[in-house]
A and B are shown apart, each in its own frame.
Chain A
Amino acid sequence: KAGVTQTPRYLIKTRGQQVTLSCSPISGHRSVSWYQQTPGQGLQFLFEYFSETQRNKGNFPGRFSGRQFSNSRSEMNVSTLELGDSALYLCASSLLGQPEETQYFGPGTRLLVL
């Protein structure tokens, strides 16, 4: 099975712009979670989607949003980019999103905001 894929791998934006990142889960996985990784804050949970519905959300401002499509692919959007949004964005998939399941991570999208 192919692993979790994320596109694009690298992205450079300027402050005030918006950005959309994409994640394709492992085939058959229906839960997709997003994380932000920065040197200062470490790995922080953004949100989780299952069957096109957001089931859980971390403590991030409303500028961070996401969605999931019927094929389980997910996108996250960040509007009005700030310098502090520069980070590695990781998505992870699992079968149903249950606590006992292992999450499998993608390679990440490196976002640089200038």
Chain B
Amino acid sequence: AQTVTQSQPEMSVQEAETVTLSCTYDTSESDYYLFWYKQPPSRQMILVIRQEAYKQQNATENRFSVNFQKAAKSFSLKISDSQLGDAAMYFCAYRRGSYGKLTFGQGTILTVHP
């Protein structure tokens, strides 16, 4: 069974600084998809960024980028120029094959200090 591990229960960053959230996963598959979702206190899950495993190039969305290391099964999220609105719980998620099912990590709570 696939598992997703986020080893940092909590992280904090100063406004305008950069922070990296870690995620590792376990799979025997070669073709899959990885996602980072953000869940602010309002509880609405929002997609931050996605990565296709067959793509070598790391995904980037404005201030958010990933470091995808397929051999190491690592998928970290870098947030540059952190803003107060980035404060949330961040979930790493894996998906492959089966309909609908996302496998989530336990989440990392990110605090942004002004």
Chain A interfacial positions (CB closer than 8 Å to B)? 31, 33, 35, 42-43, 45, 47-48, 50, 55-56, 58, 88, 90, 92, 94, 97-100, 102-108, 110
Residues from chain B with a CB closer than 8 A to the CB of A104 are 47
B35 and A102 form a contact (CB under 8 A): yes
B43 and A107 form a contact (CB under 8 A): yes
Residues from chain A with a CB closer than 8 A to the CB of B103 are 45
Residues from chain B with a CB closer than 8 A to the CB of A31 are 99-100
A97 and B47 form a contact (CB under 8 A): no
Min distance, Cβ A51 to any Cβ of chain B, angstroms: 11
Q: Could you show 13 A-B contacts with beta carbons less than 8 Å apart?
A: A31-B100, A42-B104, A42-B107, A43-B102, A50-B100, A92-B102, A97-B99, A100-B52, A103-B100, A103-B102, A105-B45, A107-B42, A108-B43
Residues from chain B with a CB closer than 8 A to the CB of A33 are 100-102
Asked if B78 is at the interface of the complex by the 8 Å CB criterion, the answer is: no
B100 and A55 form a contact (CB under 8 A): yes
Assembly CA distance A97 to B100 (angstroms): 5
B102 and A45 form a contact (CB under 8 A): yes
Known: A42-B104, A56-B100, A58-B101. A99 touches B95 (CB 8 A): yes
Q: Is the interface of B mostly helix, strand, loop or mixed?
A: loop
Partner of A99, one of B43, B97, B105: B97
In B83-114, the 8 Å CB interface with A consists of 91, 95-107
Asked if B44 is at the interface of the complex by the 8 Å CB criterion, the answer is: yes
B93 nearest CB neighbor, chain A only = A43
Residues from chain B with a CB closer than 8 A to the CB of A55 are 99-100
Residues from chain B with a CB closer than 8 A to the CB of A42 are 104-107
A44 nearest CB neighbor, chain B only = B104
A48 and B100 form a contact (CB under 8 A): yes
Residues from chain A with a CB closer than 8 A to the CB of B107 are 42-43
Residues from chain B with a CB closer than 8 A to the CB of A100 are 33, 52
Residues from chain B with a CB closer than 8 A to the CB of A45 are 100-103
**Nearest 10 A-B pairs (CB), nearest first?**
A48-B100, A105-B45, A33-B100, A43-B104, A55-B99, A56-B99, A45-B101, A97-B99, A107-B44, A48-B99
